[in-house]
Amino acid sequence: MSVSRIGAIGAIALSGALALSACASENPAPAASASSGGTSGASAADCFSGDLKAEGSTAQKNAIDEAIKAYQTACANANIDYQPTGSGAGIKQFIAKQVDFAGSDSALKTVPKDGKVEATDAKNACGSDAWNLPMVTGPIAIAYNVKGVDKLVLNAEVAAKIFDGKITTWNDPAIAALNKGVTLPATPIKVFFRSDESGTTENFTKYLHAAAPSAWTYDPAKKWTGQGEGKEKSAGVATATKGQDGGITYVELSYAQQNQLPMAQIDNGSGPVELTPEAAGKTIATAKQTGTGNDLALKIDYATKEAGAYPIVLVTYEIVCSKYADAETGKKVKSFLKSFSSDAVQKSLTSLGYAPLPTEVATKVQSAVNAIS
């Protein structure tokens, strides 16, 4: 296909576009007013005008949607789009320079996987170091649907055996031992897993592997390695669990809440812990920085035994270039992430089922954002 052909096609397409846009309405302002805004994270002076493209993790979709709304409410000329297609897709498109920054549930890998080192590729794409900036943390719920059971306690060992198909009925002695006083039915357990490659699966299996290494022997991965029945995306597993007596799945907190699914309490060794943003925050507080400088890749201690800490969490990052080839893009990313990492916006995310970043991490993130150019 020659260049002139593309040009000709382009010309045809453009004329069509012009004809159509002529009849488009002249109302650039959003027709519906923002209902739950009020967290204007950006001052008018900071606003950029134009488009900003991002893509990645589904786990942070609701958070970033909220942050975008806050930003766009303050900045009428800014258009920010986030495609919730998955962490791997986000990184892939970031490396292919299709998006300005990526959202991912795990930091860029520094060891070769499938013959590629993500961090190196990202660095090459940016022409500068790529940074992992933790922006949101989200608890992963073990959501279940068993008739007559509205309180359930699990620990890593039992959860691993359930998700690996070793425990197959709800009245299994191992479950009963953790749930004294609860009448468990003999319903068979139906495990639902994510059929797409997912950061949630990776973080959940990281937890199982770290906290119950003898029961969960598989390496943590985006692709599910246990047993059960696969459904597409978070909405798929949540819906399937809701429609199946005896169903159990792992899913981000917000999806469990949307579907009104009960969530298991996790006994990390110091007693059962209910899933709350605060309890998840305690686990996040154990995180250690593994990146250097402004690269804030974190390592979470999933095997934490701290009292009151809910151990199954994921940290989702924004992956950015430290120095954008196009200075204008750098300004846009910086301006938006400044708003996203601001205390006001971060606080508003708690109501959406996300846990706040620990203060010292949040401070580091804010200074890293300031260093983007």
Partner 1 sequence: MSALKTDQRVPEDENMTGDSPTSPPPSNRSGNEALREMSNPHRGRAIKDLIARIAMWVSFFVAMVPLAWILWTVVSKGIHLLLSATWWTGNQRNINSSDVGGGARHAIEGTLMMAGVTALIAVPIGILTAVYLVEYGRGGLARAISFMVDILSGVPSIVAALFIYAVWVTTFGLDRSGFAAALALVLLMIPVIVRSTEEMLKLVPNELREAAYALGVPKWVTIVKIVLRTAFSGIVTGVLLGLARIMGETAPLLILAPYTKNFQHDLFNGNFPTLPMMINQDRGDFALASAAARMWGTALTLILLVLLLNIIGRVIAHFGSVKK
Partner 2 sequence: MSTVTGVSATDDPPGPDGRTPLRGVSASTGRLGDRLFGGAATVSGVIVIATVTLIAVFLIVQAVPALRDNQASFFTSREWAPGGDTPRFGIVEFLWTTVAASTMAMIIAVPFGVAVALFLTQYAPLWMRGPAAALVDLLAAVPSIVYGLWGLITFAPFFKPIQGWLENTLGWIPLFSPTGISGGTILFIGLVLSIMVLPIVTALSREVFAQTPLAHKEGALALGATRWEMIRTAVLPFGRPGVISAAMLALGRALGETIAVTFLVSSLPDGAAWTWSLFNGGETFASKIANNAAEFSNPNKTGAYIAAGLVLFVLTFIVNSIARIVIERRKAFTE
Instruction: Tell me the binding residues.
Output: 57-59, 87, 105, 198-200
- Is 195 among the residues that bind partner 2 (CB under 8 A)? yes
Q: Per-residue x/- mask for partner 2, residues 138 to 177, rule CB under 8 A? A: ---------------------------x------------
Rounded Cα distance, 122 and 130, in Å:
6
Rounded Cα distance, 108 and 99, in Å:
16
Residue 195 interacting entry, from partner 1, partner 2, none, C-beta within 5 to 8 Å by type: partner 2
Residue 73 interacting entry, from partner 2, partner 1, none, C-beta within 5 to 8 Å by type: partner 1
Q: Give the CA radius of gyration of the chain.
A: 22
Among 86, 119, 82, 88, which residue's Cα sits nearest to residue 101? Answer: 82
Residue 344 interacting entry, from partner 2, partner 1, none, C-beta within 5 to 8 Å by type: none
* Residue 143 or 273 having the CB closest to partner 2: 143
Among 313, 306, 319, which residue's Cα sits nearest to residue 284? Answer: 313
Helix (H) / strand (E) containing 72: helix 61-74
- Is 188 among the residues that bind partner 2 (CB under 8 A)? yes
**In the bound complex, what is the minimum distance in angstroms from residue 194's beta carbon to partner 1?**
13
Contacting residue, 13, 177, 327, 344, with partner 1 by CB under 8 A: 13
H helices within 229-341, ranges in order? 233-242, 253-258, 277-284, 327-341
Size of the residue set binding partner 1 (CB under 8 A): 50
* Residue 59 or 369 having the CB closest to partner 1: 59
Rounded Cα distance, 299 and 190, in Å:
31
Neighbours of 198 (CB within 10 A): 27
Contact 320, 133 (CB under 8 A): yes
**In the bound complex, what is the minimum distance in angstroms from residue 154's beta carbon to partner 1?**
23
Residues 193-252 within binding reach of partner 1 (CB under 8 A): 233-235, 238-239, 242
- Is 346 among the residues that bind partner 1 (CB under 8 A)? no
* Residue 69 or 282 having the CB closest to partner 1: 69
- Is 291 among the residues that bind partner 2 (CB under 8 A)? no
Contact 261, 279 (CB under 8 A): no
**Torsion angle of the four alpha carbons 14, 19, 22, 25, in this order, in degrees rounded to the nearest 10:** -90
Chain centre distance of CA 101: 14
Q: Per-residue x/- mask for partner 2, residues 213 to 242, rule CB under 8 A? A: ---------x-xxxxxxxxx---x--xx--
| Neighbour-count burial of 87, counting CB atoms closer than 10 A to its CB (0-12 exposed, 13-18 middle, 19+ buried) | buried
Residues 36-65 within binding reach of partner 1 (CB under 8 A): 36-37, 51, 53, 55, 58, 61-62, 65
Rounded Cα distance, 12 and 36, in Å:
43
Q: Per-residue x/- mask for partner 2, residues 243 to 282, rule CB under 8 A? A: xx--x-----------------------------------
323 half-sphere exposure, CB direction, 13 A CA radius? 3
Chain centre distance of CA 241: 20
Rounded Cα distance, 62 and 60, in Å:
6
Name 155's bridge partners: 267
Binding site for phosphate: residue ranges?
57-59, 87, 105, 198-200
- Site for partner 1, rule CB under 8 A: 1, 9-10, 12-14, 16-17, 20-21, 24-25, 27-28, 30-32, 34-37, 51, 53, 55, 58, 61-62, 65-66, 68-69, 72-73, 79, 81, 83-85, 93, 96, 98, 233-235, 238-239, 242, 255, 258-259
- Site for partner 2, rule CB under 8 A: 85-86, 88-89, 91-92, 113-116, 165, 188, 190, 193, 195-197, 222, 224-232, 236, 239-240, 243-244, 247
